[in-house]
Structure 1
C-alpha cells in the first residue's frame, strides 16, 4: 500500500476524484447549466428583439417607399393644379385689364364729349359776344336816333313777352 501512496498517479487520481466530488457537492454543473440557460434566454430575447426591429424596419422601409412613390404622384398633381390656378389667375387678370381699359376708354370719350360741349359753348358765347358787339357797333354808328328809339321800344316789348 505504501507503493500506491508513493505513486504520484494515485495522488492525481485521488485529487481528480476529490475535485469532481467537490464540484458535484457544490452543484457547479447546475450553476453552469443555469448560467448557460440564462445566457441562452438572453440571446433568444435579443434575437426576438432583433427580429421585431427588423420587421419594423422593413415595414418602415415599405411605408417610405410607398410614400416616395405617392409623393411623386402628389407632386405631379400639385404642379397640374398650380398650372390651372396660374392660368385662371392670368385669365382673370387679362379680363380685369380689358375691363379697366374699356372703362378708361369710356371715361376718355366722356371727357372728350364734355370738352367738345364746353368748346362749342365757349365758341357760341364768343360768337354771341362778337355778334352783340358788332350789332352794338352797327347800331351806334349807322342808325339814326329815331330808329334807335323804335328798336329799343320793340326790344323792351319783345322782352316782356319772352319773360312771361
Structure 2
C-alpha cells in the first residue's frame, strides 16, 4: 500500500467527515443567504431608483412651473411698470397744463391790474389838471364847487 492509496483514503474520509458535519448544507445555506441578501439589495436599489426617478420628474415639473410663474411675474411687472410710466406721464402733463393755466391767469390779472393802475393815475392826473385849470380860470369859491362836482362825476363814471 503505497502513499497514494492512503492519500485517497484520507480524501474519502475527509469528504465523508464534511458530509457528516453537513458542511455542504452550511455552504449552500450561506450561499442562499448571500443570494437572498443580494436579491433584497437589488430590489431596494430598484425601489430607490424608481423613487429617484419620481423625485426627478417632480422636481423638473416644479422647475417648469417656477419658470412659468417667474415669466408671468416678469410680464406682470413689465405691464405694471408701463402703467406707472403712463400714469406719471399723464400726471406730469396735467401738472404742466395746470401750471401753464395758472401762469396765464396771473399774467392776465397783472395786465388788468396794470391797466387799472394806469387808468387810475390818468384820472388822478386829469383831475389834478382840471382842478389847476379851473382854479386858474374861476375864482376861489366857484372853483371849489365845480371841482367837487367834477370829481364826484369822475368817480361815479369809474365805478
| TM-score exceeds 0.5 | yes
Q: TM-score, normalising length from structure 2?
A: 0.72
In structure 1, the residue matched to 2:55 is: 60
In structure 2, the residue matched to 1:90 is: 85
Q: TM-score, normalising length from structure 1?
A: 0.70
Conservation of the 8 A alpha-carbon contact between 2:134 and 2:147: no
Write out aligned runs for 1:61-76 (5 A). 61-67=56-62, 70=65, 73-74=68-69
User: For this pair of structures, how many residues does the alignment match?
Assistant: 154
In 1, Cα distance between the equivalents of 2:138 and 2:30? Answer: 152
Q: Decide whether aligned partners of structure 1 residues 149 and 125 sit closer, same or farther in structure 2, where only a CA change above 3 A counts.
A: closer
In 1, Cα distance between the equivalents of 2:80 and 2:71? Answer: 14
5+ long unaligned stretches in structure 2: none
The one of 3, 10, 15 aligned to 2:5: 10
In 1, Cα distance between the equivalents of 2:139 and 2:70? Answer: 102
**What is the RMSD of the two structures over their aligned residues, measured on CA atoms?**
3.2
In 1, Cα distance between the equivalents of 2:76 and 2:67? Answer: 14
In structure 2, the residue matched to 1:142 is: 137
In 1, Cα distance between the equivalents of 2:144 and 2:104? Answer: 50
Give how far 1:152 is off. Answer: 5.9
Cα distance per residue 1:106-153 (max 9 Å; x no partner)? 212221222122212322232233223323332343332242244367
Higher mean alpha-carbon deviation, 103-112 vs 133-142, is at 133-142
Conservation of the 8 A alpha-carbon contact between 2:18 and 2:24: yes
Give how far 1:8 is off. Answer: 0.9
In 2, Cα distance between the equivalents of 1:139 and 1:133? Answer: 10
